[in-house]
Amino acid sequence: MDRRTFVRTAISRLSALAIGSVAAGADLSAATFGNQEKFQNENNAVASRAQNNSERTLREYNLVAEPTQFEIPSRGIFEKWLYNGKFPGPEIRAREGERFRLTVKNNLPEGTSIHWHGIPVHNAMDGVPGITQPAIPPGENFVYEFDAVPSGSFLYHSHFGFQPDRGLVGTLIVEEKKAHIQYDREYTLAFSDFLADAPRPLGVGMKAGGGPMLAPPYVTLLINGCPPEAPAVFSVKNGERVRLRLINVSGATIYRIAIGGHPLIVTHTDGRPVEPLRVDALNLAPGERYDVLVEAKDPGAWSIAASPDNDLPPARAVLRYLDSNETQSRQGALPEGLSGGQLLKLEDLRGMDLPEMRKPNRTFNFTLAGGEMKPGGMMSPPGMMTQQWTINGQAYPNAEPIEIHQGEVIRFRLDNQSAMPHPMHLHGHFFRVGNVYKDTTIVWTHSKRVELDFIANNPGSWLFHCHNLYHMEGGMTRVVRYLPA
C-alpha cells in the first residue's frame, strides 16, 4: 500500500470510528465533534468514504424493481411494484464497518432511484433524482456503494414520486460490533399501509366518483407483509430477551404500538443507542424506527398491535412462546397499551452517543402549514386541485434552498400550524432532538416548537421533508445546500 492509500484508509477508519461511536465509545464521539479541526477531519473522512476500501468486507445485493402481483390471502391479488417480488423488499444487512454494494435494476415503466434512509452516505449515493443523481431510466442499472456505518435499524425506499406507496420499500440493518444491550434473538417488524391501486395525489376530483380525497385510500395495514387476519408470528422461548426492530415503512400512517402483557424496553431511536427505558406503548411515524427489548416471561400467545391514525383496524402480529400450547387465546384481545399505560415521551429518553453540541451558528425558523386545495402540484395532473403543504409558505419545488456552511452547528426550529402531524426527516445527518439522536421526528399539531440541532459535517445537497409521502409531494420539502467554504 502506498502512502496515499494508507492515509486515505486511516482517515476512513477514523470516520468509521467517529460515526460508529456505539462501538468506539461515547468519549470518542464527543471528542470528534468538539472542535473545528475535528470537524474538518470528519468532513474529509466522509468525502473519502466514497473511495475504495479494499479490505472491507463487501455485502453485495441485487435489487430488481419491477411490476409484481402480490397476494394477500382472503383479500385478493394486487398489482404492485416491488423489489425482488417481495413486500416489503428483501432485508439488507451488514456488520458495522463493512461495505454495501447494491445494484439496482429498473424494470419499471418509469424512472426510479433508492434512498438509504438514515445512513449518512456520501451525497452522490443518497438516491434523490434531480438532486444527487439522474433517475435510473427503465431497463438500466445503478450501483450504490457506501460503508455500513453507523450501526442501526434503517429503511430503504424509492425516492421517485409516489413509488414508495406502490410497494418499493424495505428494511436495512447494520449490526453493532458491540451492542449496549444483551438479547437472545431479534426480529425486524416492518409496518406498512397498503393501497389496492396506484397512488395518486390527494385532492379534489381525485376520488373515484369525483369527491375530494383527503386521505390515501389504504385498504389494510400490514406487519412484514401480513394482514391482521393472517398475522406474522414471532416465536420466543420463555426466559429470553428479544430485540424487536420496529420500522415504519408506511406512506402516511402513524401508529401507536403495544404488545399484550409485555412492556417495551426502548433501546434505540432511529438506530442510535439510548439508555433503556420501559414503556407500555410508543408512536411510530413513517421513516421512524425504535428498537425495543421484550422480556419473555409470560408464556402464551400475545398480540403485537399497532393502531393507526386512520379508520382502519390495527395492524397485528403474534408473539408466541414456543414452549406453550396456547395459540389463539390471548392474541384476540388488543394490548392494553393501545389505549392506556405509559406512552413513550421522546423527552424521557437519553442518547448514549450524543455529541457535545456547541451553540448553534445558524438558526432557521420554519412554520409548517397547509392542507388547502391549490391548483397544480409536483405530481398532479394539470388543472386539478390538490392538497398543498408548505414550509414558511413555500411549496417545493417553488421554494428557496436552505443554505449552510460546512462545520456549522445548525438549528431548525419547527412550528406546526397545521391540523396534521408531520414526521420531519433530514437526509445525510443525524440531529439532536431533546436528549437523543434521530433522523426523523414527529412535529405534532398544536405542539410546542420542536428544535433540531445538527452538525454540518456531510457536504452536498440534502432533502429535508415531511415523511408523509403526500405531504412531501404536496410541497413540504426543501433542499439543504452546503455553500462552498
Residues lying near ligand C2O in the complex (CB under 6 A) are found at: 115, 117, 157, 159, 287, 425, 427, 463, 465, 467
CB closer to ligand C2O, 425 vs 432: 425
Cα separation, 467 vs 469, in Å, equals 6
Task: Tell me how far, at minimum, the Cβ of 416 lies from ligand C2O, in Å.
Answer: 19
Cβ at position 358, least distance to Cu ion in Å? 25
Joined together, the cell numbers standing for residue 223 give: 406487519
User: Which of 116, 234 has the CB closer to ligand C2O?
Assistant: 116
Contacted entry of ligand C2O, Cu ion, none for residue 262, CB cut-off 5 to 8 Å set by kind: none
- Residue corresponding to grid cell 460515526: 19
Q: Return the ∠ at Cα 51 (arms to 39 and 30), rounded to 5°.
A: 25
C-alpha cell at 96: 458495522
Report the alpha-carbon distance of residue 482 to residue 474 in Å, rounded.
Answer: 25
Nearer to Cu ion, 114 or 246 (CB): 114
Q: Taking Cα atoms as reference points, which of 457, 392, 386 lies closest to residue 426?
A: 457
Please choose which of ligand C2O, Cu ion, none residue 414 contacts, taking the beta carbon within 5 to 8 angstroms, the exact cut-off set by kind. Answer: none
Q: Which is nearer to Cu ion, 155 or 294 (CB)?
A: 155
For residues 272 and 471, which CB has a smaller minimum distance to Cu ion in the complex?
A: 471
What does 466 interact with, of ligand C2O, Cu ion, none (CB < 5 to 8 A by kind)? Cu ion
State the nearest-atom distance from the C-beta of 279 to ligand C2O, in Å: 25
The DSSP annotation for 31-90 comes to HHHHSHHHHHHHHHHHHHTTS--TTSPEEEEEEEEEEEEEEETTTEEEEEEEETTBSSPP
Three-class DSSP category at 10: helix
With CB under 5 to 8 Å by kind, the binding choice for 469 among Cu ion, ligand C2O, none is none
Report what 245 binds from Cu ion, ligand C2O, none; CB cut-off 5-8 Å by kind: none
Which of Cu ion, ligand C2O, none lies near 422, with the C-beta cut-off 5 to 8 A by kind?
Cu ion
SS3 414: strand
| Cβ–Cβ < 8 Å for 335, 305 | yes
18 or 414: CB nearest ligand C2O: 414
Minimum distance of Cu ion from residue 289's CB (angstroms): 12
Of the two residues 411 and 465, which places its CB atom closer to ligand C2O in the complex? 465
Pick the closer one to ligand C2O by CB: 150 or 287.
Answer: 287
Distance of alpha carbon 146 from alpha carbon 278, whole angstroms: 35
Residue 135 or 319: the one with the smaller Cβ distance to ligand C2O is 135
Which one, 83 or 116, has the nearer CB to Cu ion? 116
Q: Which does 468 bind (CB under 5 to 8 A by kind): Cu ion, ligand C2O, none?
A: Cu ion
- Return the closest-CA partner of residue 245 out of 229, 261, 269: 269
From the list Cu ion, ligand C2O, none, partner contacted by residue 8 (C-beta under 5 to 8 A by kind): none
We find the least distance from the C-beta atom of residue 420 to Cu ion, in angstroms, to be 6
What the block records as the C-alpha cell of 66 is 419491477
Hey, what's the cell of 301?
400467545
CB of 34 to ligand C2O, least distance (A): 30
Q: What is the number of other CB atoms lying within 10 angstroms of the CB of residue 316?
A: 22
Q: Among Cu ion, ligand C2O, none, what does residue 49 contact (CB within 5–8 Å per kind)? A: none
Minimum separation from the CB atom of position 370 to Cu ion (A): 8
Could you tell me the CA-to-CA distances from 74 to 82, 307, 312, 381, 403 in Å, in that order?
A: 20, 22, 17, 34, 51
Three cell numbers, residue 441: 421526528
Q: Which does 320 bind (CB under 5 to 8 A by kind): Cu ion, ligand C2O, none?
A: none
DSSP for 118-163, written as a single string: T----GGGS--BTTTBPPBPTT-EEEEEEE--S-EEEEEEE-STTG
Q: To the nearest whole angstrom, how small is the minimum distance from the Cβ of residue 167 to ligand C2O?
A: 15
476: left (phi over 0), alpha (psi -120 to 50) or beta: beta
The binding site for Cu ion (CB under 5 A) comprises: 117, 422, 427, 466, 468, 471
Provide the minimum distance between the beta carbon of 34 and Cu ion in the complex, in angstroms, as a whole number.
26
Shortest distance, CB of residue 481 to Cu ion, whole angstroms? 16
Please identify the residue of the shown chain whose CB is closest to the bound ligand C2O: 117
